[in-house]
Structure 1
């Protein structure tokens, strides 16, 4: 794999998936033995962010090059390609796994993708340099990191609205959510490293 970009852990399947941006590969490794289990290549693609539905073992990868989400099921080596927004770089899933949310770096927005129909149902503008997205399973809200604007947008994907925009440290680049609390890491270059903690209202 060339230019390894991101990993995601499927605890139920004891599998770690990794994306290779430069060669369009998605590789699954056994989390205990580190042996390669599966390799899928989409020629010409640039997979970046990853999300996995642990109930089905299906992997979803944001494809920055071709403006789509690459979907790889556990039982098939043939990927399904689903349209996304302009420059998707990160992807997250709804609690039921039926919807994907792509953070679109070029578009400065987040796309709501119906995975069953394979279509974008909403696009919500969030801010410049959209880079990372995470879903709060308790509320269904989606948090989007806007790197250039140094903000985090709290999005209601059903209404297609931004509920709140919060300031972070300079150059935020990743968000994770745990038990109703979001953690945003920031800092690069001359900017000081930092961590912003956000409690998500029900």
Structure 2
């Protein structure tokens, strides 16, 4: 398989292939800071901090097929491998956006704290970290997002 890495400074995605001494470089959204893959590995989703969006990238062609506005300061992106939905953590907006990447539509936009900046999905449940220190005893908070039907 391939390994992917986001390049925030130059708004691009690196694809590293086994046996290759040069990465493939794909231009993506403005301020690309994180990347997640679809279950079949054919599509990449990038969190674009400066643009406040998620780019949908066809990895075969290397083209951005869609850019979906999610909210200010999109810092992290994760894929639900069960449903194909994509979760984007928007730090400046204080939200997590749930996307249907096939239609390019926003399924939900949920308030998840003033410094929402990490998201991961396990067994169909998303977990979002809010580093605002607004929880009990001024600790960071974790929000659980159950599957949205």
Aligned residue number for residue 196 of structure 1:
143
Q: Aligned to 1:144, which of 88, 94, 100?
A: 88
CA contact (8 A) 2:133 2:140 kept: no
In 1, the alpha carbon distance for the partners of 2:139 and 2:94 equals 13
Aligned residue number for residue 91 of structure 1:
35
- Specify the structure having the higher radius of gyration (Cα): 1
CA contact (8 A) 1:109 1:126 kept: yes
In 1, the alpha carbon distance for the partners of 2:123 and 2:32 equals 26
Deviation of 1:169 (Å)? 2.1
In 2, the alpha carbon distance for the partners of 1:200 and 1:90 equals 22
In 1, the alpha carbon distance for the partners of 2:84 and 2:62 equals 20
In 1, the alpha carbon distance for the partners of 2:50 and 2:114 equals 19
Name the SS for the 2:114 alignment partner: coil
CA contact (8 A) 1:130 1:147 kept: yes
Aligned residue number for residue 39 of structure 1:
none
Aligned residue number for residue 187 of structure 1:
131
In 2, the alpha carbon distance for the partners of 1:189 and 1:199 equals 23
Aligned residue number for residue 75 of structure 2:
131
Deviation of 1:74 (Å)? 1.7
In 2, the alpha carbon distance for the partners of 1:59 and 1:77 equals 13
Partner deviation per Cα, 1:13-69 (whole Å, 9 max, x = no partner): xxxxxxxxxxxxxxxxxxxxxxxxxxxxxxxxxxxxxxxxxxx1x110011111110
Aligned residue number for residue 109 of structure 1:
53
Note if 1:82 corresponds to 2:39. no
Partner deviation per Cα, 1:54-88 (whole Å, 9 max, x = no partner): xx1x1100111111100001221210001210110
Instruction: Note the residue ranges of structure 1 that are not aligned, 5 or more in a row.
Output: 1-55
**What root-mean-square deviation, in Å, do the aligned CA atoms of Structure 1 and Structure 2 show?**
1.4
Deviation of 1:201 (Å)? 2.7
In the comparison of the two structures, how many residue pairs are matched?
146
In 2, the alpha carbon distance for the partners of 1:93 and 1:148 equals 24
In 1, the alpha carbon distance for the partners of 2:139 and 2:111 equals 15
In 2, the alpha carbon distance for the partners of 1:193 and 1:115 equals 35
Name the SS for the 2:60 alignment partner: coil
- TM-score with structure 2 length normalisation? 0.93
In 2, the alpha carbon distance for the partners of 1:189 and 1:87 equals 25
Instruction: Note the residue ranges of structure 2 that are not aligned, 5 or more in a row.
Output: none
Greater relative contact order, per chain length (Cα 8 Å cut-off, separation 6+): 2
